[in-house]
């Protein structure tokens, strides 16, 4: 019997009173300020937190990707957090244009320890936070709104106290933690109190971080909350509104994008969404979403394979194969109709001069993030003929005529059905060669000599037929026609040539000619043959013999 959720256990999140909301009509036109919290928020969520070497490797990756703001830890919380920041300072690993960020609670001994760790840092953001939500005030702290504000202001005063003796620039970030569970009026009141106590001005801007510490409602609600705060924060022009969304409802990406529409200036997140519970917002997905809209994000994700490799190594967490943009399978099509559309789209893209990306099913060019085209189409029992042709062309240089696609497609699908799995490209090539090059022969090409006069070709053709060597002459309006004429002097199977195509295959210096011939007869509606040789005429005749052996064996 199905269990029912008790009535009244959950309640809908209340709507935000926001007359004339503006964000639904806005468009994202520029990237926000990015802040990676992988080394702090991400690290605290790991089964095995990072050691020094892993932290350093991840920090180097974040710099390489272009992050200018990096939360490096909670130096007052543990020795490894403290030692890591000191290592960055002592080894001069922080570039001059990068601001490191440190998290701290509003307690003097923790703030003192934090500033001790910051000795020698030229630019740092001190991220001060305390919980403000109704649930936290009622259940965890048993404090009134006034007491919560007093705690935040005590923290600001302490940061100002230690800032006075720090030889470098200090910026303040304040987070009303669990913002999404906090009354908006109270969130604005405490944030305004913090910025006023800090002494906000043109030269002393403050980051107000509004975290969806727990994602509690649909993304449009978060956007409403951000726009409401934009309207109700004092000195808005000097406040940098930051988002920090978690993924409890699975909509952190959408919530962050709508928050940017609503006026957010800055985004905190992690690579590949690592973070507490269901994770933080994934900055890779956010940034590449913007890239797909023509926005320069300032971050370099041109080699996502390296990013995935480093993050998986330091976090010991796997990446889902369907993770947007970076998963192993996200640029892969198994469906026949998808494969056909992608194949045509790539050919169209290559042929046109205008660079605008117009390939069906691929929102961005995989090459832009360091992925190759080899993995775009993979063959299983659901795949179509176009996918097989794509693999043979892209991986091995065989440009199969379109009419031939169903023939080779059926042969490959038969193997995939029998194996019950995805086929490797080498296996597809083997099916192709087994069906067109390594076939049982009842008639075998040996040699040919050709002459041509005013478009008329004459040939002397040598071949084996059922163990008998035959040499005969023929003529026609081309080499293939002349060869057919020679064959029909003794060959018993009547046929006609339905189609012919050819191309070179391989590097220019060692290219082979490849020919495709389609024949038909009273018994065989269509059968293709393939031939390859250094000489295109010989390749064509080999293709004809291949077709005869396949059609009449």
pLDDT one-digit tens code per residue, 306-318: 999 999 999 999 9
Contact 183, 136 (CB under 8 A): no
| pLDDT at residue 373 tops 70 | no
Q: Is the pTM of this model over 0.85?
A: no
Is 16 within the bounds of a domain?
no
Are both 368 and 470 inside the same structural domain?
Answer: no
Distance in angstroms (rounded) separating the CA atoms of residues 62 and 179: 27
Whole-number percent of the chain with pLDDT over 70? 95
Are both 417 and 538 inside the same structural domain?
Answer: no
Can you give the pLDDT at residue 455?
Answer: 78
Is 328 within the bounds of a domain?
no
Q: What are the structure tokens assigned to 281, written together?
A: 């917002």
Is 377 within the bounds of a domain?
yes
Distance in angstroms (rounded) separating the CA atoms of residues 337 and 330: 16
| pLDDT at residue 545 tops 80 | yes
> Which of 72, 77, 80 has the alpha carbon at shortest distance from 99?
72
Q: Which of 315, 349, 373 is a domain's end point?
A: 315
Is 2 within the bounds of a domain?
no
Tell me the DSSP string of 192-204: HHHHHHHT-BTTB
What confidence tens digit (pLDDT) does each residue in 319-363 have? 998 999 999 888 877 776 787 888 888 889 989 999 999 999 899
Average pLDDT score over residue span 276-302 = 97
Is 3 within the bounds of a domain?
no
274 Cβ contact partners less than 8 Å away, ≥ 6 residues apart: 38, 42, 45, 46, 280, 311, 315, 317
Task: Specify the DSSP element, H or E, that contains 446.
Answer: strand 443-453
Q: Give me the domain span that covers residue 480.
A: 443-552
| pLDDT at residue 445 tops 60 | yes
Which residues on neighbouring strands pair with residue 4, listed in sequence order?
Answer: none
Can you give the pLDDT at residue 128?
Answer: 97
Give me Rg for the CA atoms of the chain. 34
What confidence tens digit (pLDDT) does each residue in 83-125 have? 999 999 999 999 999 999 999 998 999 999 999 999 999 999 9
Can you give the pLDDT at residue 193?
Answer: 98
Are both 455 and 347 inside the same structural domain?
Answer: no
Q: C-alpha 435: how far from its chain's center?
A: 37
Contact 32, 267 (CB under 8 A): yes
Tell me the DSSP string of 281-335: -BHHHHHHHHHTTT---S---S-HHHHHHHHHHHH--PPPTTSTTTSTTTT-B-S
The alpha-helical segments, DSSP class H, found in 321-475 are: 336-351, 385-396, 405-419, 425-436
Are both 51 and 135 inside the same structural domain?
Answer: yes
Is 326 within the bounds of a domain?
no
Return the beta strands (E) in 78-168 as ranges: 99-105, 123-131
Under the banding of pLDDT at 50, 70 and 90, the label for residue 425 is confident
Are both 245 and 387 inside the same structural domain?
Answer: no
Are both 184 and 275 inside the same structural domain?
Answer: yes
Average pLDDT score over residue span 545-552 = 94
Q: Which of 385, 407, 429 is a domain's end point?
A: 429
Can you give the pLDDT at residue 15?
Answer: 94
Are both 263 and 369 inside the same structural domain?
Answer: no
Q: Which of 383, 406, 429 is a domain's end point?
A: 429
310 Cβ contact partners less than 8 Å away, ≥ 6 residues apart: 57, 58, 61
Are both 387 and 482 inside the same structural domain?
Answer: no
CATH code (residue 537): 3.30.160.270
Are both 126 and 53 inside the same structural domain?
Answer: yes
Tell me the DSSP string of 257-291: HHHHHTT--EEEEBGGG--STT-B-BHHHHHHHHH
Contact 280, 269 (CB under 8 A): yes
Residues 5-37: b if buried by 16+ CB within 10 A, e if exposed: eeeeeeeeeeebebeebebeeeeeeebbbbbbb
Per the structure, how many domains does the chain have? Answer: 3
Can you give the pLDDT at residue 10?
Answer: 92
CATH code (residue 67): 3.20.20.70
Under the banding of pLDDT at 50, 70 and 90, the label for residue 374 is low
| pLDDT at residue 510 tops 70 | no
Which residues on neighbouring strands pair with residue 451, listed in sequence order?
Answer: 458
Is 327 within the bounds of a domain?
no
Can you give the pLDDT at residue 505?
Answer: 82
Distance in angstroms (rounded) separating the CA atoms of residues 210 and 232: 13
Question: How confident is the prediction for the chain on average, in pLDDT?
Answer: 92
What confidence tens digit (pLDDT) does each residue in 375-416 have? 665 655 566 566 788 889 888 889 999 889 989 988 988 888
Under the banding of pLDDT at 50, 70 and 90, the label for residue 507 is low
Nearest-5° Cα angle at 31, 251 to 238 = 100
Is 437 within the bounds of a domain?
no
Are both 358 and 219 inside the same structural domain?
Answer: no
| pLDDT at residue 238 tops 80 | yes
Are both 425 and 513 inside the same structural domain?
Answer: no
Are both 31 and 112 inside the same structural domain?
Answer: yes
């Amino acid at each position: 019997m199905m269990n029912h959720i008790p009535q009244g256990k959950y309640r809908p999140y209340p709507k935000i009173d926001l007359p004339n909301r503006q964000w639904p009509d806005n468009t994202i036109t520029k990237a926000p300020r990015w802040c990676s919290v992988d080394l702090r928020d991400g690290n605290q969520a790991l089964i095995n937190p990072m050691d020094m070497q892993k932290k350093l490797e991840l920090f180097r990756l974040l710099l390489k990707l272009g992050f200018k703001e990096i939360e490096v830890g909670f130096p007052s919380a543990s020795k490894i957090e403290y030692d890591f920041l000191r290592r960055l300072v002592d080894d001069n690993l922080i570039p001059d244009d990068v601001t490191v960020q440190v998290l701290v609670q509003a307690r003097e001994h923790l703030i003192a320890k934090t500033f001790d760790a910051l000795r020698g840092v030229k630019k740092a953001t001190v991220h001060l936070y305390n919980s403000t939500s109704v649930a936290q005030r009622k259940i965890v702290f048993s404090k009134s709104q006034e007491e919560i504000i007093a705690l935040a202001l005590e923290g600001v005063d302490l940061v100002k106290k230690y800032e006075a003796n720090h030889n470098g620039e200090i910026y303040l970030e304040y987070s009303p933690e669990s913002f999404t569970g906090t009354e908006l009026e109270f969130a604005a009141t405490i944030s305004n109190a913090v910025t006023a106590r800090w002494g906000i001005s043109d030269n002393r801007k403050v980051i107000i971080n509004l975290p969806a510490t727990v994602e509690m409602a649909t993304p449009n609600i978060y956007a409403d909350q951000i726009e409401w705060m934009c309207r109700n924060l004092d000195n808005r022009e000097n406040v940098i509104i930051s988002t920090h969304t978690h993924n409890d409802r699975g909509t952190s990406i959408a919530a962050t994008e709508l928050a940017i529409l609503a006026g957010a200036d800055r985004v905190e997140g992690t690579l590949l969404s690592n973070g507490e519970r269901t994770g933080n917002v994934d900055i890779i997905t956010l940034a590449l979403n913007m890239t797909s809209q023509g926005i320069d994000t300032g971050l370099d994700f041109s080699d996502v394979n390296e990013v995935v490799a480093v993050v998986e190594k330091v976090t010991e967490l796997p990446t889902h194969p369907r993770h947007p943009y970076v998963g192993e399978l996200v640029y892969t099509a198994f469906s026949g109709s998808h494969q056909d559309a992608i194949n045509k789209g790539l050919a169209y893209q290559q042929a046109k001069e205008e660079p605008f990306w117009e390939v069906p099913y691929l929102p961005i060019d995989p090459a832009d993030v360091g992925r190759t085209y080899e993995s775009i189409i993979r063959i299983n029992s659901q795949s179509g003929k176009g996918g097989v042709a794509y693999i043979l062309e892209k991986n091995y240089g065989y440009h199969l005529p379109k009419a031939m696609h169903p023939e080779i497609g059926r042969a490959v699908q038969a193997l995939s059905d029998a194996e019950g799995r995805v086929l490797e490209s080498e296996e597809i090539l083997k099916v192709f060669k087994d069906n067109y090059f390594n076939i049982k022969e009842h008639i075998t090409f040996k040699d040919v000599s050709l002459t041509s006069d005013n478009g008329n070709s004459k040939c002397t053709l040598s071949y084996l037929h059922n163990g008998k060597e035959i040499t005969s002459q023929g003529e026609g309006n081309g080499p293939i026609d002349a060869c057919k004429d020679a064959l029909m002097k003794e060959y018993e199977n009547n046929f006609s040539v339905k189609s012919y195509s050819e191309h070179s295959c391989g590097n220019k210096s060692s290219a082979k000619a490849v020919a495709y011939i389609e024949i038909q007869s009273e018994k065989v509606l269509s059968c293709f043959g393939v031939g390859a040789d250094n000489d295109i005429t010989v390749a064509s005749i080999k293709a004809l013999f291949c077709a005869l052996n396949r059609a009449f064996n």
